[in-house]
Chains A and B, each alone.
Chain A
Amino acid sequence: MMNKHIINMTKKLSLSYEIALSIGGSLDLHEMLKKFLETVVRKGEAYRGLVWLLEDEEPTMVSAVGSFTRGMDYSAIAKNLKVSLENSLKAGTPLLKTEDDLDFLQYCMPFTGNEKEVLLVPIGSKTVLQLFFTYKGAASQGLAGVLEELIPQLSNAIAACQTHRKLLDLEKKEKNSLQIKYFDLMNNLDVGIFICGMDYYFLDANPAFLRLLGVESIKELQQKSFASFCEVCNEELKEIIQRKGYIKNLEVRIKQENGNSFWATLTAVLRPLQDGHYIMGILDDIDERKKTEKKLQYLATHDAITNIPNRYSLEEALRLAVKKAKTGLESALLLIDIDNFKLVNDTLGHTAGDELLVQFTEILQKNIREGDFAARFGGDEFAIIIEGIEKNEVLDMADRIRNAVYENEVIVGSTRLNLSISIGIVLIDGTLDYQKILSKADIALYKAKEEGRNRVAYIHHSEDASLEFLKINHRIKAIKQALREDRLVLYYQPIVCLNKGEILHYEALVRLVGDDNKLLLPGEFIPVAERFGLMAEIDRWVIQAALRKLSEVPEIKIFVNLSAVSLLNKGLLVSIEEDILNSGVDPSRIGFEITETSAMKDLAVTERWLRKLQKIGCRFALDDFGIGFSSFSYLLNLSVDYIKIDGSFVKNIDNNSAHFTLVYAMNKVAHAFGKKTIAECVENESIANTLRDLKVNCGQGYYFGKPTGNLEEIRAVLW
């Protein structure tokens, strides 16, 4: 009893539950009906099941499950079955026919001989379910009842599938239209689009891709893999695709069929497509952009005037040098400043200044090794990084550079310029960062300038920069103290008339008596005094001391040096004028030497001095003529009485024809403009004779007398 009860319950539940669950579950009509039909046939013990749709003129078989369902001519069956199916729809309820019914075969199509019953179940207004059974009473075991109950549910499910189908059709239409648009877009895009297989051989591409690679046809492309055009691509593709599944904007160099190459960005992604995985990608030509980028990068890292690396590059190079130094490869930084460069810009204009920088760069490059790094640091400052070099070697090299600059004339337009440079050196051993190295080099450069320019100064990387400043501070104190305590002294060097051998006048040269009573030469304290605003005071002291000397020694004349900074000091001019006038000394016995470079800084100011002091009878000499940026034409603009030809030309006059010629020319031109000439650095009789032959008016140098504090000594020698 119990067993029967369980079986009956299970049977009923199995039938209704499993069939009910088979309805829906899919929005595809065929799939949904097939699943439903399979369940009905299997659970209902049917031999076969068919679903017919009566939408068109002839019924259409939309699903078939069970025996003899494959390979049947359903259109023929449909014709014969049409009336029966329509009858079923008209009846509106399940229609059962058994083999005992006369019209059984009209409903039981197809008939194979095994069929004993056929059940037609109308679903909605257009669908009929046809079930075949091989034994009598099968349909009545509960299936018909279950199906009748499920008709509304099934009808709804079919309607849902049909609605979904309509939506899908609509979507497909839209998709087709979109696909056409996409296709059109792809064919007209300038960007290359490709598909390749997992073996990296191309499968398809748009016309732009073929154009980019210089390939004629898809067929030709399909013979090639990415390796044919870009080995990196192939490796990167493999690596990245396998690891990440995509590549985004990878910059690659593509080699075209004809051998030309260009830069492109590659974006690719691994996609599942139909029967496997493919790589889809975009190749975009960025050659022009790359060129612009390269240009921009060049501009960002190079100086526009000299075409050598700029400060940004220098800093990068220094960082690298520090890094290398840490691994044992030491290097040196040379910071170079063109002495008095500002004058060129001020007097010849910025174009000339730029031209000078270009020529200077050429000199620099000729005197460094291949592989050394030269950069323009800014303004007139340059830097060189020299790898794998020791202190002595770098000092030699720096001096060679300094000398090369010093000995090479630079011609800017029609102007010949003699340059000098100051060089600060620091070694890079990895202990300091690049900023500290730059700072050290700057101090070294400052030191070189302080020591009189045209010099090389070296600071040990471990040397405390503050020591340098302490030294300077000490020097400033010493100058101030000397001014206060009157510990400056004047030395005198005679300027001798070459023809007569008479002393024309004396040049007063200032010395400073240090704490230890040691005499400091001008080069040791004048640069500090200039930089820290003490020159006017020193110049005033010198003039007062010279006036005192002139008062003491009536028959002599004295020339004192006026520094560039003093020239700019209007108050000093007035004070000096007053000092001269108040001293009672004949102003014609005192003269002033101004360097050409000082004069050039502000010609108008210089002229004001000249006019004011010449007005009361003072004389003027243009000092150090010929070095720096002297130009004969400027002589016209300065109403000086004397031109002092720089000693650097004079001392080699017997051995260097160029210097001889220069001295000759300078002397000639000076005379033509009514100036008298004084040659500096006359160290021997031969030079004196040469100068005399050249009609140079006067000479100054060791041959005629060293600077001395005791005027009597000189006079005793000469007379």
Chain B
Amino acid sequence: MISKAVFFQPSGLESWRSFLKDLQVEGTCGIFLMVAENTLFDYEMLRPLFKEFDALVFGGIFPGVIFEDVHYTEGVVGCSIEQPILLDVIKSLDDFSGFPCETVASNDSVLILVDGRTGNISAFLNNIFETSGSRWGFIGGGAGSLYNQHKHVLFSQEECIDQGAIIVRAKSSIGVGVTHGWQPMYGPLVVNSAKGNEIKEINWQKAFPYYQQILLEKEKVHVEKANFFDIAKSYPFGMVKLDGSIIVRDAIQAGEEGSMILIGEIPQNSIIVLLHGDKSQLIDAAGDAVKQAFQRYRELTGKRGGHTLLVDCISRALFLGEDFKKELRVIREHIPDTIPLFGFLSFGEIASNGDRYLEFYNKTTVVGVL
């Protein structure tokens, strides 16, 4: 599916032109651009250039991009897609009710890029899953700017959008692996009152004071509104699935009247646990994601894969700090040398091998083998 992946640090329009020309090799149907948020990127200036190319150009702005075992906050990773693609630009997630009915047996790989700040992502993903083919694999994540430098974080040749999504489909297989390494430290807890990505009450008490109380009792950690993100990034919530896997929900803000704001939703009446991260466990888990992805790809195709797309959570990178490099090295080590690794840091991750519901993850490593 991917014929080429290149890292590039633009120095002007001409450098962009030569970069894109380099990607536009014979048979290229699409060019996926992952732009790190500190890159000099002016969509309006570049749009005429994008239009010069026959291939469908699309992409997003992310807190960082990954090329091989290094992550960059400035620079662009571009990859050429050698198969025909279907590109859907969704301006509002609520407007998307699903794909037209697809044939059961097709093997599609689907890349989903959403604006990470958008609400109602879960319903959007449900609509995708329920109208997808039975052998589709999904990978994607939330675009966005950590420092709010960009309003429009998704773009195509035609337009740039915010609060929307881009869906790219290709007739090819993808093996997806998902892990995070976060461990339960306290629970179960009942989210008895929640709306969207805001949880109001836990165990019938106001969410934030209760969260403060647990952290103080169990970890001797004081969390206040002022130091919220610094502390909360180490203590996310988790929803436990039947197979024992956990979907992480990152708390990013103490809300009004004792509520807590998350990235992603926790439905009301959910049973959750409080998680804690051990850096080495997280890094080890990332390696497992690679293994899962390659295994799935082999199951689907009998081949070992051509490229590896990594979608790693920015919150995870922030939590790991310098150790994030270790995580990338571990991931790289699990990938055969000849298979390139590229990807982006995301605000929430999307993944499914098609046999399970599409989930919107937090603090998770998603690896796709294409």
Inter-chain contacts of A142 with B (CB < 8 A): 242
For the complex with contacts A3-B184, A14-B240, A14-B271, 11 further pairs of A-B residues with Cβ separation under 8 Å are: A7-B273, A13-B271, A14-B188, A14-B239, A15-B242, A17-B269, A43-B242, A45-B356, A70-B98, A114-B134, A135-B355
Contact call B241/A45, Cβ cutoff below 8 A = yes
B190 at the interface (CB under 8 A from A): yes
- A3-B183, A7-B246, A45-B242 given; A18·B271 CB < 8 A: yes
Contact call A113/B240, Cβ cutoff below 8 A = no
Inter-chain contacts of B132 with A (CB < 8 A): 67
CB nearest to B358 among chain A residues: A67
Contact call B188/A114, Cβ cutoff below 8 A = no
Sort A-B residue pairs by CB-CB distance and give the 9 closest, nearest first: A134-B355, A14-B271, A112-B134, A10-B188, A6-B184, A71-B101, A10-B240, A45-B242, A141-B242
Contact call A11/B101, Cβ cutoff below 8 A = no
B324-356 interface (Cβ within 8 A of A): 354-356
A47 at the interface (CB under 8 A from B): yes
A430 at the interface (CB under 8 A from B): no
Contact call B354/A114, Cβ cutoff below 8 A = yes
Inter-chain contacts of B134 with A (CB < 8 A): 67-68, 112-114
Q: Interface digits, B237-253 against A, CB 8 Å rule (1 contact, 0 not)?
A: 00111111010000000
- A10-B271, A18-B271, A67-B132 given; A42·B184 CB < 8 A: no
- A14-B271, A135-B355 given; A113·B104 CB < 8 A: yes
- A11-B240, A11-B242 given; A70·B270 CB < 8 A: no
B204 at the interface (CB under 8 A from A): no
Contact call B273/A44, Cβ cutoff below 8 A = no
Inter-chain contacts of B131 with A (CB < 8 A): 70
Inter-chain contacts of A43 with B (CB < 8 A): 242
Inter-chain contacts of A222 with B (CB < 8 A): none
Contact call B130/A69, Cβ cutoff below 8 A = yes
A42 touches which one: B105, B183, B243, B357 (CB < 8 A)? Answer: B357
CB nearest to B268 among chain A residues: A21
A108 to chain B, nearest CB (A): 13
Contact call B187/A45, Cβ cutoff below 8 A = no
Q: Interface digits, A116-159 against B, CB 8 Å rule (1 contact, 0 not)?
A: 00000000000000000011001001110000000000000000
A151 to chain B, nearest CB (A): 19
CB nearest to B357 among chain A residues: A42
Inter-chain contacts of B101 with A (CB < 8 A): 70-71
A522 at the interface (CB under 8 A from B): no
How many interface residues does chain A have, given as a range? 35 or more
A5-59 interface (Cβ within 8 A of B): 6-11, 13-15, 17-18, 21, 41-45, 47
Inter-chain contacts of B98 with A (CB < 8 A): 70
A449 to chain B, nearest CB (A): 86
In whole angstroms, how far apart are the Cα atoms of A7 and B273 in the complex?
8
Number of interface residues of B (CB under 8 A): 33
B150 at the interface (CB under 8 A from A): no
Q: Interface digits, B117-148 against A, CB 8 Å rule (1 contact, 0 not)?
A: 00000000000011110110000000000000
B272 at the interface (CB under 8 A from A): yes
- A47-B355, A113-B105, A142-B242 given; A7·B184 CB < 8 A: yes
Contact call A18/B270, Cβ cutoff below 8 A = yes
A514 at the interface (CB under 8 A from B): no
Q: Interface digits, B261-278 against A, CB 8 Å rule (1 contact, 0 not)?
A: 000000001111100000
Contact call A17/B356, Cβ cutoff below 8 A = no
B165 to chain A, nearest CB (A): 19
Contact call A21/B273, Cβ cutoff below 8 A = no
In whole angstroms, how far apart are the Cα atoms of A14 and B187 in the complex?
11
Inter-chain contacts of A9 with B (CB < 8 A): 187-188
CB nearest to B355 among chain A residues: A134
Contact call A68/B188, Cβ cutoff below 8 A = no
A662-679 interface (Cβ within 8 A of B): none
B239, B271, B354: residue with the most chain A Cβ atoms closer than 10 Å: B271
A66 at the interface (CB under 8 A from B): yes
CB nearest to B132 among chain A residues: A67
B221 to chain A, nearest CB (A): 18
CB nearest to A41 among chain B residues: B357
Inter-chain contacts of A42 with B (CB < 8 A): 357
Contact call A17/B271, Cβ cutoff below 8 A = yes
Inter-chain contacts of B184 with A (CB < 8 A): 3, 6-7, 10
CB nearest to B276 among chain A residues: A3
Q: Interface digits, B146-177 against A, CB 8 Å rule (1 contact, 0 not)?
A: 00000000000000000000000000000000
In whole angstroms, how far apart are the Cα atoms of A142 and B270 in the complex?
17
In whole angstroms, how far apart are the Cα atoms of A460 and B183 in the complex?
105
Q: Interface digits, A247-279 against B, CB 8 Å rule (1 contact, 0 not)?
A: 000000000000000000000000000000000
In whole angstroms, how far apart are the Cα atoms of A134 and B352 in the complex?
13
In whole angstroms, how far apart are the Cα atoms of A65 and B126 in the complex?
10
Contact call B271/A6, Cβ cutoff below 8 A = no
